[in-house]
C-alpha cells in the first residue's frame, strides 16, 4: 500500500512541519530503543506498535475525518484525570490527552514560565509554542484544571494560545468539596454543550459511561494478569496501553486491550513470561508518564527487573474504578461521574492517605518486591508526599526507592546505577 503523506494535514493545522519531522524521528528512535528491543513480547502488542506509528498521523486524520463526516462534533483536549471524558463523549466530542513527555522549545517557554517548573508543564507549553503537537493544534477546546500550582498558573498563559475551560478541583475530601466538584462537572457539561451545539441526553451520557467503563474493564483484565510470575507482559507495554487510552479510538482500543488480556491470560496458564520466573518485580508510583517519557521504565526493565503495576495517572488511577451505571437521569449520571472521579487519589489532595493504601495494596496483590516512587523535578506535591509514601512502604516491609528526574537523558547514568543497586537489594 502506498504510504500516505501527512505533511499537508500537518500544514493545514498550522504546524511547524520541519520541526515536527525531527520530533517524529526522535520518538521513533526512542520507541525502537525502548520497546522494539524487548524479547518475548505478546504478539498482540503489535496493536501498540500501530498506535505509535499512527499517533501523529493516521489517528489525527481519522479524528478530522469524523468531524468532517459529522460523526464527531469537536475535539476536546485535557491534561488531567479529573476531567471526565464521558461528558465530552456524550456530546459526540472526541476526548484527547495533551500531556507531553519531551522537552521542546524550552527557550520560548521560559519567556512565559519559570525555568524551575515541572517538565510536564514546560513540555505542553513547548509543544504549543513550537507547533509540533497535532492533538493541541486540532483541539477545538482545551479543558484545564486548578490542580497543582504549576498547572493552574501555566493555564493563564496557555489560555492566551487556545480556547480554554478551567475546572476548579478541590484539594480536600469533604462533603462540601464533593458538592463543589459535582457543580464543576455540571459546568463542564454546559460548556461542552455550548461548544458542540449538542444537548447531552440520558441516552448519550449512558452510552458514554458504558463505553469508558468497557475500556476500564479491559485494562483491569490486563492488569490482573501481571500478578503472575513470570509476568506475561512488560511494564513498558502496559504503560503504553494507558498512554494510548488517552488518544486512540475507545472502541478499537478496548478490543485490542481485550485481545492482549486474552493472550496474557493464556500465557499465565502456560507459564510464559516476558522475563524469566523469579525476575525482580517493581511497582511504580508517582507522577504521570506521558508519551514519549519512557526513560524510567526502560531503565528499570533493562536493568533486569519487570514493572508489574503503575499507581499513577498513566496507570491504575485511570482504570481501577468504574462509574456506577445506575444513574437514570442526566443529573444522576453526572453525579455518579463526579463521585467516581473525585475518588482519585492524587497528591493535590491533603491528606492523601488513600494513595498510600492503594500503593501498598497493589504491591501486595501484584507481589512486588519493591516500590519505585518518582516525582518529576520541581513537582512539590509528589516530592513532599514521597516522605509519607516511604513511611507507608517501610511499615509494610516493602523496599522503597524515591527518584526525582526530568525529561532529559542527563541523569541516565546515575539513575542506572541507583536502579541496579536497588534491584540487587530487593
**Site for ligand SF4 (CB under 6 A): how many residues?**
20
374 - beta bridge partners?
286, 403
The residue within the footprint of ligand SF4, chosen from 96, 120, 143, 371 (CB under 6 A), is 120
Q: Is the dihedral of CA 403, 406, 409, 411 positive or negative?
A: negative
The tally of CA atoms less than 13 A away on the side-chain side of residue 243 is 22
3-state secondary structure of 282: strand
Output the smallest distance, CB 198 to ligand SF4, in A.
26
Compare residues 6 and 104 and give the one whose CB is closer to ligand SF4. Answer: 104
The residue within the footprint of ligand SF4, chosen from 287, 298, 316, 386 (CB under 6 A), is 287
Cα distance between residue 222 and residue 216, in whole Å = 10
Contact yes or no for 138/13 (Cβ under 8 A): yes
* CB neighbour list of residue 190: distance below 8 Å, 6 or more residues apart: none
Nearest of 156, 176, 179 to residue 166 by alpha carbon: 156
Region from 28-36, 77-85, 136-144, 273-281 binding ligand SF4, contact rule CB under 6 A: 77-85
Residues 331-360 that bind ligand SF4 (CB under 6 A): 344, 346, 348
Compare residues 348 and 392 and give the one whose CB is closer to ligand SF4. Answer: 348
Compare residues 294 and 382 and give the one whose CB is closer to ligand SF4. Answer: 382
The residue within the footprint of ligand SF4, chosen from 30, 94, 118, 247 (CB under 6 A), is 118
- Residue 403 in the binding site for ligand SF4 (CB under 6 A): no
Nearest of 369, 379, 398 to residue 147 by alpha carbon: 379
Output the smallest distance, CB 382 to ligand SF4, in A.
6
Contact yes or no for 323/342 (Cβ under 8 A): no
Rounded (10°) angle between helices 202-225 and 330-342: 30
Q: Is the dihedral of CA 171, 175, 176, 178 positive or negative?
A: positive
> Site mask, ligand SF4, residues 121-150, x = CB under 6 A?
x-------------------------xx-x
Compare residues 81 and 423 and give the one whose CB is closer to ligand SF4. Answer: 81
Residues 354-393 that bind ligand SF4 (CB under 6 A): 376, 379, 381-382
Output the smallest distance, CB 288 to ligand SF4, in A.
5
Output the smallest distance, CB 349 to ligand SF4, in A.
9
3-state secondary structure of 324: coil
Compare residues 31 and 246 and give the one whose CB is closer to ligand SF4. Answer: 246
Output the smallest distance, CB 106 to ligand SF4, in A.
15
Compare residues 300 and 376 and give the one whose CB is closer to ligand SF4. Answer: 376
Cα distance between residue 410 and residue 15, in whole Å = 29
Region from 80-88, 134-142, 160-168, 190-198 binding ligand SF4, contact rule CB under 6 A: 80-88
Compare residues 235 and 288 and give the one whose CB is closer to ligand SF4. Answer: 288
Cα distance between residue 197 and residue 53, in whole Å = 33
Region from 78-86, 227-235, 254-262, 270-278 binding ligand SF4, contact rule CB under 6 A: 78-86
Compare residues 85 and 263 and give the one whose CB is closer to ligand SF4. Answer: 85
Compare residues 229 and 358 and give the one whose CB is closer to ligand SF4. Answer: 358
* CB neighbour list of residue 133: distance below 8 Å, 6 or more residues apart: 98, 100, 124, 127
Compare residues 23 and 120 and give the one whose CB is closer to ligand SF4. Answer: 120
Q: Give Rg (Cα) of the chain.
A: 21
Contacts 24+ apart (CB under 8 A), 168-174: 169/80, 169/82, 169/145, 169/348, 170/342, 170/349, 171/348, 171/349, 171/350, 172/349, 172/350, 173/342, 173/349, 173/354
The residue within the footprint of ligand SF4, chosen from 48, 80, 268, 423 (CB under 6 A), is 80
* CB neighbour list of residue 407: distance below 8 Å, 6 or more residues apart: 101, 102, 103, 119, 123, 293, 295
Contact yes or no for 237/308 (Cβ under 8 A): no
Cα distance between residue 264 and residue 250, in whole Å = 21
Residues that bind ligand SF4 (CB under 6 A): 80-82, 118, 120-121, 147-148, 150-151, 287-288, 313, 344, 346, 348, 376, 379, 381-382
Amino acid at each position: 500500500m502506498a504510504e500516505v503523506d501527512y505533511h499537508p494535514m500537518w500544514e493545514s493545522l498550522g504546524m511547524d512541519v520541519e520541526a515536527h519531522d525531527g520530533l517524529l524521528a526522535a520518538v521513533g528512535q526512542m520507541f525502537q530503543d525502548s520497546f522494539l528491543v524487548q524479547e518475548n513480547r505478546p504478539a498482540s502488542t503489535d496493536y501498540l506498535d500501530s498506535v505509535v506509528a499512527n499517533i501523529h498521523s493516521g489517528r489525527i486524520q481519522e479524528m478530522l475525518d469524523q468531524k468532517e463526516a459529522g460523526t464527531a462534533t469537536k475535539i476536546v483536549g485535557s491534561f488531567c484525570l479529573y476531567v471526565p471524558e464521558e461528558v465530552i463523549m456524550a456530546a459526540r466530542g472526541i476526548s484527547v490527552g495533551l500531556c507531553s513527555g519531551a522537552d521542546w522549545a524550552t527557550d520560548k517557554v521560559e519567556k512565559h514560565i519559570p525555568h524551575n517548573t515541572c517538565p510536564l508543564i514546560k513540555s505542553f507549553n513547548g509543544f504549543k509554542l513550537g507547533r509540533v503537537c497535532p492533538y493541541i493544534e486540532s483541539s477545538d477546546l482545551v479543558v484545564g484544571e486548578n490542580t497543582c500550582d504549576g498547572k493552574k498558573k501555566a493555564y493563564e498563559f496557555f489560555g492566551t494560545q487556545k480556547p480554554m475551560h478551567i475546572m476548579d478541583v478541590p484539594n480536600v475530601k469533604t462533603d462540601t468539596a464533593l458538592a463543589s466538584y459535582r457543580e464543576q462537572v455540571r459546568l463542564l457539561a454546559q460548556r461542552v454543550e455550548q461548544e458542540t451545539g449538542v444537548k447531552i441526553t440520558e441516552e448519550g451520557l449512558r452510552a458514554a459511561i458504558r463505553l469508558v467503563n468497557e475500556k476500564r474493564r479491559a485494562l483491569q483484565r490486563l492488569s490482573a494478569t501481571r500478578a503472575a510470575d513470570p509476568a506475561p507482559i512488560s511494564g513498558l507495554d502496559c504503560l503504553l496501553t494507558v498512554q494510548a487510552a488517552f488518544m486512540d479510538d475507545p472502541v478499537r482500543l478496548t478490543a485490542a486491550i481485550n485481545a492482549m488480556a486474552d493472550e496474557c491470560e493464556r500465557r499465565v496458564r502456560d507459564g510464559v513470561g516476558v522475563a524469566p520466573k523469579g525476575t525482580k518485580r517493581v511497582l511504580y508510583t508517582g507522577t504521570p508518564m506521558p508519551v514519549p517519557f519512557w526513560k524510567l521504565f526502560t531503565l528499570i526493565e533493562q536493568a533486569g527487573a519487570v514493572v508489574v503495576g503503575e499507581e499513577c495517572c498513566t496507570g491504575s488511577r485511570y482504570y481501577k474504578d468504574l462509574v456506577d451505571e445506575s444513574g437514570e437521569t442526566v443529573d444522576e449520571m453526572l453525579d455518579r461521574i463526579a463521585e467516581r472521579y473525585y475518588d482519585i487519589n492524587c497528591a493535590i489532595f491533603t491528606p492523601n492517605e488513600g494513595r498510600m493504601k492503594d500503593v501498598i495494596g497493589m504491591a501486595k496483590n501484584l507481589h512486588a518486591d519493591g516500590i519505585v516512587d518518582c516525582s518529576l523535578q520541581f513537582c512539590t506535591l509528589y516530592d513532599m508526599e514521597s516522605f509519607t509514601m516511604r513511611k507507608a512502604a517501610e511499615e509494610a516491609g516493602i523496599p522503597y526507592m524515591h527518584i526525582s528526574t526530568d525529561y532529559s537523558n542527563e541523569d541516565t547514568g546515575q539513575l542506572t546505577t541507583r536502579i541496579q543497586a536497588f534491584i540487587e537489594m530487593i
